Chain A
Amino acid sequence: MGNVAEVIVFLISGAIVLGGGLGVILNRNPVHAALSLIASFFGVAVLFISQEAHFLAFVQVVVYGGAIVVLFLFVIMLLGVDRAEQVRVEQLSMQRPLAIVTGVMLFGLAMGGLFLSGPGGEEGAVAATGQQSAMVPIDETEPNVRQLGLDLFTRNVLAFEATAILLTIATVGAVVLVRNEGAEDLVVDEPGTSIG
């Protein structure tokens, strides 16, 4: 009974993930593409839950479904590009068929890498080093959040600090990039320096 439910959950959320992905590609309107992206992210969150990665599912909804897509929508609305793509002509001949062929080949490559190369399953876990490769074994009795937090703040603490620096640099970089160069924001009352 549990297996059947698992299969149904997987099939439905998998369909949502792929359907959302198709929606991103096929919708001409960027706003609709962003909404399809949300659907896809939510499907991925459900897949995370069914694999017992509860914290990641939560973060997936908050960060991806919330922050990132809202950022996309914000930019779309701010710039007023929320209309269908106007450039219908392909600037490279054969671009679309070639892109689809390349995508199918990428899929085949991933499949080959997953299922043709070396032992899979239990054997794959011990293929490289001759022993179970778990660096941080999952403890089923502990909550997922607690384990992930312990791992982040002990084994990965340096990388965690580095992400803090990375986010700061990204924020500063964004401010520098979108700064309105040439427009003197602070001297608006001087005649002749209209910022339009």
Chain B
Amino acid sequence: MEVTEAWYLILSAMLFALGATGLMIRRNPLVMFMCVELMLNAVNISFVAFSKMYDDLAGQSAVFFVLVVAAAEVVVGLSIVVALLRRRPTATADDLVELRG
């Protein structure tokens, strides 16, 4: 038995589906962000697996940029969540409509 790239790709697909399911199930905006991070990590796994499979470093560079974009996204997203939860600590994702204007 040998670990082939297909194993990594299957794991990546499972993690992506898990993150997407969590994003749809949970109502707490913070936890929804964590699920987005899970999905980004799933994509990173498959990027690195393809990079190994095709012997191409470009996949690893792509992971680097995904990482930077994830950091930026978390910063902006969490500040929106802070602005929301300051008004009502029990807010769910539906209450984002309160931030209008």
Decide: A25 near B25, CB < 8 A? Known: A3-B2, A48-B48, A138-B56. yes
Decide: A135 near B58, CB < 8 A? Known: A21-B19, A64-B67, A72-B78. yes
In contact, B67 and A63 (Cβ under 8 angstroms): yes
A76, closest chain B residue (CB): B30
How far does the alpha carbon of A171 sit from the alpha carbon of B79 in the complex, in Å?
10
How far does the alpha carbon of A174 sit from the alpha carbon of B76 in the complex, in Å?
5
How far does the alpha carbon of A78 sit from the alpha carbon of B48 in the complex, in Å?
35
Contact of A174 among B19, B21, B48, B79 (CB under 8 A): B79
Contact mask for chain B residues 51-72; partner A; CB cutoff 8 A; 1 contact, 0 none: 1111111101101110111111
In contact, A85 and B21 (Cβ under 8 angstroms): no
Decide: A178 near B79, CB < 8 A? Known: A22-B18, A24-B38, A56-B60. yes
Listed residue (A55, A102, A132, A170) with the most chain B CB atoms within 10 angstroms of its CB: A170
- State the interface size on chain A (CB cutoff 8 A): 87
Decide: A148 near B38, CB < 8 A? Known: A103-B20, A166-B72. no
How far does the alpha carbon of A115 sit from the alpha carbon of B7 in the complex, in Å?
12
**Dominant secondary structure of chain A at its interface with chain B:** helix
Other contacts beyond A51-B8, A56-B63, A136-B61: 13, CB < 8 A: A7-B2, A17-B11, A21-B15, A24-B35, A25-B26, A30-B28, A51-B49, A67-B71, A78-B82, A81-B28, A137-B57, A174-B78, A178-B79
Residues of A within 8 A of B (CB): 3-4, 6-7, 10, 14, 17-18, 21-22, 24-25, 30, 33-34, 37, 40-41, 44, 47-48, 50-53, 55-56, 59-60, 63-64, 67-68, 71-72, 75-76, 78-81, 85-87, 91, 95-96, 98-100, 102-104, 106-107, 110-111, 114-115, 120-121, 125, 132-138, 144, 147-148, 151-152, 155-156, 159, 163, 166-167, 169-171, 173-174, 177-178
Q: List 16 A-B contacts (CB under 8 A).
A: A3-B2, A3-B3, A18-B15, A30-B31, A47-B48, A55-B60, A68-B37, A71-B75, A72-B74, A81-B85, A103-B21, A106-B20, A148-B60, A148-B61, A170-B72, A173-B76
